[in-house]
Amino acid sequence: MEFIAFTYVGNFVDKEIITDVLFNVFDDANRFFHQNEIPVRFLYIGKLELEPGYLINLNTPEGRIRVYPLEALVEVLYSRLLQEINEKEDIKMNKIFALTTFPLVSRNPYFDFYEKFLGIHEVITGLRIMILSMKPFEVPITPDDSPHERRRKLETFKSRLLKGILHEVGHSFGLEHCNNQCVMHPPTNIEDWDGRIPGYCDECLLKLRAAL
């Protein structure tokens, strides 16, 4: 069995996002792996704490936003993964996956990540760092929403995140983009993503099992 450390970084004003979305989506991912006989599991290692000084202000076409520079996140996650590996010598783990509430940007000009990428991968000394921003998948929730509507929106949000997580995990084991009804098929827009099945096509599933 191979484990992937997972954590999150950012501000959650709504605690329900943590209890009903953040942890449940990783439970759903582990359930998917189990049901499809994929020997991979996510292992929660606690929240990632970053000092406020890491945040930068960035002017974008959508207005001024606060973000963590991608390079800073990668460095901190790499150090955290090394720590976990040293403390958990009895388990196989060389990957870490982080969800962040902030957009992913680098020190280059601002990326329109809604269209250009779902997440970021970096490999440092054989260790893989994966980061996925929750921003592209958010569903606006308003105080006027009924409990039923709020629940529906949270489920949509969780479904989008699950597909994004499975997409990045697929890449981490060598899967390329495909053209089938599959999480490895990049969407052209969020509506396209909502219509994608929450799993791999038969071809990608066989490749994933072979890689493991």
Helix, strand, or coil (residue 114) = helix
Which range marks the domain in which residue 167 is found? 2-211
Provide mean pLDDT across the span 71-75: 84
> Domain of 81: which CATH number?
3.40.390.10
Which positions are catalytic? 168
- Strands 56-60 and 63-69 turn out to be antiparallel
Q: Strand (E) positions, 45-200? A: 56-60, 63-69, 92-100, 104-105, 120-124, 127-133
Cα–Cα–Cα angle for 191, 194, 198, nearest 5°? 155
Provide mean pLDDT across the span 69-86: 89
103, two tokens: 């957009």
Backbone angles phi, psi at 203, to 5 degrees: -65, -45
Cα–Cα–Cα angle for 135, 201, 18, nearest 5°? 30
Domain count, the chain: 1
Q: Would the pTM of this model clear 0.75, i.e. be above it?
A: yes
Q: pLDDT tens for residues 147-177? A: 899 889 889 999 999 999 999 999 999 999 9
Least confident range of 69-78, 91-100, 115-124: 115-124
The predicted structure's pLDDT at residue 133: 84
Please tell me what DSSP assigns to residue 49. Answer: P
